[in-house]
Amino acid sequence: MPLTKKKNKYLLIFGIWMGFGLIYGFQTYLFNEFEGYNCNVFATVADQMPTFILWGFYTLLIFWIIKKFPPDQTNKLLLFFGIHLVTVIIISFFHVTVLAYFRWLYYSYTGRLNESFTSYLLRYSIAWLFLQYLLYIAVVITGYAIDFYRKYRDKESQNLELEKLLSEAKLNALKMQLHPHFLFNTLNTISMLIRKNDDQQAIKTIAGLSDLLRYVLETRDTQWTYLKKELELIEKYLSIISLRFPKKINYEIEISSEAENIYIPDLILQPIVENSVKHGLSEKKENGKISIYANKKGEKLEIIVKDNGIGFDSSNYGVSSFGIGIKNTGERLKKIYDNKAVFEIDSKKDEGTVVRFVLPVKVA
C-alpha cells in the first residue's frame, strides 16, 4: 500500500474513534449535568478520549488479523475463531486494566478513593469489560464488511478487464478468420471445388465458413464454452485450411471422453491454432501437421497444440513477446484462473512448436 494511502487510512481510523470520543464525552457531560453533578465539559471529554484513542490502535491490529486470516477455507475456521477469541480477551483485559490503573492512581491521589487496585479493577471490569467485547465484535464486523466490499470492487474491476480482453480476443479471431485474404482464398477454394464438380466438398466448405461466422457472432457475450465445442470450431477452421492446402497442412484432434464437457475460456485455443498455421506451417511445402490433444488429469485439464512447422528458439521469448493473440491468451488465463493456470510455449528451430495448457477443471 502506498505511504500516502496508508497514512490516510490511519488518519481516518483515528479520526472516527476520536469523533466517537467527542460524542461520548459530550453525552457523558450532559448526563452528569442532568443528574446535578458539577463538571467541566472539556475535562469530561478529555477523560473519555484515552479509551477511544486506544481503540484506534486496536482497530489497526484487528484489520491486520482480518487481512492475514480470512474465513475462506473450511480447514482454517478453527484457527480463525481461535485467533479472534484470544485477541478479544487480550485486548479487553489489557484495555480495562490500563484504564482502571490510571483512574485508580488519580482517584487515590485526589483522595476520592480508598481501596486496593485489585478491588477497584474488579468493580471496573464488571462495568466495562463486556463493552470491550461488543466493541471488538463491531470492529470485526466492520472490518470484514470493508474487506468484502473491497474484494467485490476488485472482482468487478477484474470482470471488466476480462470482458475487455475477451472482446479483443474475439475481435482478433474475427479478423483472422474473416479478413479479405482469408475470405477470398476460401471463396476461391469453393469455386475450384465447384469447377471440379466436387459439390459435396464445396457444400462442406461453405457450411464450415458459415459455422465460423455464426459461432463468433452468437457467442460474443459468452466467456465460457465446452472443450468439445471449442475443438469443433477449431476443426471447422482447419478443415477449410486443409482443403486449400491438401498436401501442405493436415491435422488431428484427440480428446478424451472425460474432458469433452469441461469448461474452458471461449476462443482460448483459436489464436494458438491460427498462429501455428500462419507462422509455423506457412513456409512448409508439404506434410505440415497440427495435432491437438486434450486429457483430464485429476483436477486439471491438459491441452497440447503441436505443429511440425519451422519453429523458433523459444528460450529467447516470453509470452509477452508474441503478438496480440498470444499475449491476450496469457492475460486472460491469468485473470480467469488467478495465476493457477499453466501456459507454456516450447519451440525449436526447424523442429516445430508445442503449446501446453494446464487448466483447473471447471464443469457445468
**Grid cell 457450411 in the structure block, residue:** 207
Type of residue found at 188: N
Q: In this prediction, what percent of the chain has a pLDDT beyond 90?
A: 19
* Residue 186 belongs to a domain: no
Tell whether 253 and 152 lie within a shared domain.
no
Tell whether 243 and 147 lie within a shared domain.
no
Q: Which of 124, 140, 156 is the last residue of a domain?
A: 156
Q: How far is CA 204 from the centre of its chain?
A: 42
Between the CA of residue 338 and those of 17, 159, 171, what are the distances in Å? 37, 12, 24
Tell whether 257 and 344 lie within a shared domain.
yes
Tell whether 149 and 223 lie within a shared domain.
no
Q: Whole-model pTM? A: 0.54
* Residue 8 belongs to a domain: yes
Q: Which of 111, 134, 156 is the last residue of a domain?
A: 156
Tell whether 230 and 341 lie within a shared domain.
yes
DSSP for 270-315 reads: HHHHHHIIIIISTT--S-EEEEEEEEEETTEEEEEEEE-S----GG
* Residue 23 belongs to a domain: yes
Domain range enclosing 96: 3-156
* Residue 246 belongs to a domain: yes
Tell whether 346 and 258 lie within a shared domain.
yes
**61 CB contacts (<8 Å, ≥6 apart)?**
87, 91
Angle 176-344-256 (CA atoms, 0-180°, nearest 5)?
80
CATH number, domain with residue 254:
3.30.565.10
* Residue 190 belongs to a domain: no
Tell whether 237 and 92 lie within a shared domain.
no
How far is it, in rounded angstroms, from Cα 216 to Cα 193?
26
Q: In what order do the strands lie in the sheet with 300-307?
A: 249-255, 288-297, 300-307, 352-360, 342-348
**Grid cell 442532568 in the structure block, residue:** 34
Tell whether 230 and 336 lie within a shared domain.
yes
* Residue 178 belongs to a domain: no
94 band by pLDDT with thresholds 50, 70 and 90: very high
What pLDDT is attached to residue 167?
Answer: 65
Q: CA gyration radius for the chain?
A: 34
Q: Which of 110, 134, 156 is the last residue of a domain?
A: 156
pLDDT tens for 242-257 read 877 777 788 999 999 9
Between the CA of residue 109 and those of 63, 104, 105, 113, 244, what are the distances in Å? 38, 8, 6, 8, 101
* Residue 110 belongs to a domain: yes
What pLDDT is attached to residue 354?
Answer: 94
pLDDT tens for 17-52 read 888 888 888 887 787 777 677 777 887 788 788 888
* Residue 185 belongs to a domain: no
Are the CB atoms for 346 and 307 separated by under 8 Å?
Answer: no
User: Which of 141-150, 219-228, 343-352 is predicted least confidently?
Assistant: 219-228
How far is it, in rounded angstroms, from Cα 9 to Cα 4?
9
Tell whether 122 and 225 lie within a shared domain.
no
Tell whether 23 and 95 lie within a shared domain.
yes
How many domains does one find in the chain? 2
